[in-house]
Homo-oligomer: A and B are copies of this chain.
Amino acid sequence: MNGSVRTSSWWLALALAGCATPALRGTGDLGLVVERGSGRVLIVDTTARQAIGAVEGLGDLSHASVVYSRDGRYAFVFGRDGGLTKVDLLKQRIARRIVQAGNSIGGAISQDGRLIAVANYEPGGVKVFSSETLEQLADLPATELGGGRRSKVVGLEDAPGNRFVFSLFDTGEIWLADLSDPATPRVRRYTGIGAQPYDGLVTPDGRYYLAGLFGEDGAALLDLWRPEAGVRRVLSGYGRGEQRLPVYKMPHLEGWAVAGREVFLPAVGAHEVLVVETENWRETARIPVHGQPVFVMAQPGGRRVWVNYAYPDNDTVQVIDVPSRRIVGTLKPGKAVLHMEFTPRGGEVWISARDDDRVLVYDTASLAELARIPARKPSGIFFTSRAFVIGM
C-alpha cells in the first residue's frame, strides 16, 4: 500500500512536472537579449520587465541577430560562426541547431514564415532553410572572385512576395531573389551598384531597399515596386567624404529611422544625424549630436528618434524631437551601449550596456528608468513583435 502510494505520487509528480514547467502564456510580450561572447540568450518578458529564462549553447554570438516565427514562439538566432539556432521561447530550450557556414552576418524570414535565409561571408552567398526543420532548401552562391572564393553577402532583408534582397560586398551587386518556389529560386542581379555595399534596409512600407556604400560616398536604392527600373544612386554626399574621417564603427542601416516622409540616418564619421526626404531621397538637414551615431531609431508612434554612439561616446543615448529637430534628452545608461529595442507600441525602450553587464528599461515619454536587468555582456535585443514587420 505504501509502495503503491509512493508510485502514484511519483507518477502524479511526473505528470504535473511534465506539463507544469512551460507555463501557458502568450508570446506577444517576449523577447531575447543576446549575451555576446557567452553563447547564451536571455528570454525576457516586457510586461514583467524581467528575464524569465536563459538558453545556452548557441556558439559565437558576437554581432548576432534574431528573427521570429509567425506564431512568435520560435526565435531564429544567426550567430557569427555560421550557427543557425531555433530557440523555443515557451519551453526555454533549443529546438534545432545547425552550423550552416563558416562565417555569417544575419538573416531574414520570408513573408509567409516558411523560409529562413542566411547571409554568409564564408562561403559567400545565401542559404535558405525550412523554418520548421532547418533543412536546407536552396543555395545561392555569390559571384566568384577567383581562387574558389566568392563575394561576401551583407544587408539581407525580406521583401513582400517571399522575396529576399541582399548586397554583395566585394562585387558591388544587389540581388533580388524570389523564393516563392524554393526549389527554383529566381534571382535578378543588379551589378555596378557602387563600391562595397556594407549594409541594407527595407523601408517600413516594404517599398525601397537601400544599401549603404563603404567604398565610395552615396547609397544604392532599389524600388521594389518597380524592380525593372533598376538600382539608382542617391545621397551622393552620404559617406566618409573627401576628408576620410576616422570611423570608429560603421553605422547600422537597419536602424535608419523612417518618420513620416523623412529618414533620419547616421552620418559616417561625423557627429551628425542626417535628415533625408524620401520623395527624391535628398538631404534636407543635419542635426549636431554627441558622437558618431551607430543606431538612429524611430520610436513607434512617437515624434522621437533615439541615437546611440560609437566609441568613445558609447556611454550615451540621445533623444531627438522630430518636428523641432532638437535634442530633448540625453541618457547615460552605462558603458558600451550596443543596441536599443522599443516595445511595439513605443511606450518603453530597452537598452543594452555591454560593459556594465546590464539592460535598462526606460519610459520613452518621461525618460525615467523603469528597470535594470542583469545580463552578461548584452548586445542585441529582439522582441517577438518583429514577427509582424517586413524587412527586419
Contacts and interface: CB of A to CB of B under 8 A. Distances in A.
A240 interface: no
Kindly state the interface size class of chain A when it binds its partner: 35 or more
Contacts of A246: none
Interface string A245-257: 0000000000000
Contacts of A71: 25-30, 47
A162 to B, nearest CB: 8
A148 interface: no
A189 interface: no
A28 B27 contact: yes
A308 B205 CA distance: 22
A168 B73 CA distance: 42
A90 interface: yes
A70 B91 contact: no
A197 to B, nearest CB: 22
Which residue, of A28, A160, A226, A344, has the highest number of chain B Cβ atoms within 10 A? Answer: A28
Interface in A1-54: 1, 4-5, 7-8, 11-12, 15-16, 18-20, 22, 24-30, 46-47
B24 A259 contact: no
A201 to B, nearest CB: 14
B27 A26 contact: yes
A141 interface: no
Interface in A97-141: 111-113
Contacts of A347: 111-112, 160, 162
Interface in A49-98: 68-74, 89-91
Given A8-B7, A384-B28, A47 B113 contact: yes
A287 interface: no
Contacts of A225: 303, 323
A244 interface: no
Interface in A372-387: 384-385, 387
A146 interface: no
Given A346-B111, A388-B28, A302 B11 contact: no
A388 B344 contact: yes
7 smallest beta-carbon distances between A and B, as pairs: A8-B8, A19-B19, A26-B73, A206-B301, A28-B72, A26-B71, A344-B388
10 contacts: A27-B28, A27-B72, A28-B28, A28-B384, A29-B70, A111-B345, A160-B345, A206-B300, A301-B391, A344-B387
